[in-house]
Amino acid sequence: MQLQKTIKKENLRKVVFLDRDGVINRDSPDYIKSWSEFEFLPGSLEAIRLLTLNEFAVIVITNQSVINRKMVSGKGLDDLHTLIKKAVTSNGGQIKDIFYCPHVPEDRCSCRKPNPGLIFKAKEKYRIHIATSVMVGDSAKDIECARNAGCGHAVLVKTGNGEEAEKILKEKSIFPDFIARDLLEAVGWILAHNNYDLS
């Protein structure tokens, strides 16, 4: 009788979910379709490095309708994400994984933010403790996604669509736990509130 190997999943309690465009890199109304269009926002590489040094797993959660809009192939987006991860690694940080939704809003899929499907996919893969996780985003959809998924904290950054997001969230009576100028300030807040019981 052949015994099957049991693959033990990771059990992550310290996780920071990051939106991509407008948080890590400059957003564009024309979408980010290639490495030549990708530009890290000031301080974002340092922010991810600090999270990594403090033993947080960084997971990117991003809507990427460029695929279903036929502007980029799945391979093209994967290649871009590989380059992003390499750049982060070369600066002392680590992005553990990137989960993206390829659908347009009209598809009404469960993985497109503000729906929590991408976070749930990450939870299934890594056994993440959602209640101790943090979501950082620049849009109302990001903060709503965090609340819909049950994340412990949600942080809004003012880069990208942050200013507009504040107004939308107030109208919906949804409030982030902290509003930061950028990802680096957001990470400073996260590290100051790192009171996790990891026993």
Q: What is the pLDDT of residues 155-191, one digit of tens each?
A: 999 998 888 999 999 999 999 999 999 999 999 999 9
Cα separation, 133 vs 144, whole angstroms: 14
Annotation: CATH topology of 15-192: Rossmann fold (3.40.50)
- Bridge partners of residue 61, in order along the sequence: 99
Answer with the residue of higher pLDDT: 32 or 8.
32
Domain residue spans in the chain?
15-192
Omega of the bond prior to 105 within 30 degrees of 0, cis? no
Provide DSSP, 33-47. -SGGG--BPTTHHHH
Rounded distance between C-alpha atoms, residue 152 and residue 133, angstroms: 5
- Per-residue burial over 67-76, b if 16 or more Cβ lie within 10 Å, else e, is beeebbeeee
- pLDDT (tens digit, 9 = 90+) per residue, 88-125? 999 999 999 999 999 988 888 999 999 999 999 999 99
Q: For the residues 17-32, what does the mean pLDDT come to?
A: 96
- Tokens, residue 27: 């957003």
What residues are labeled active site?
Answer: 19, 21
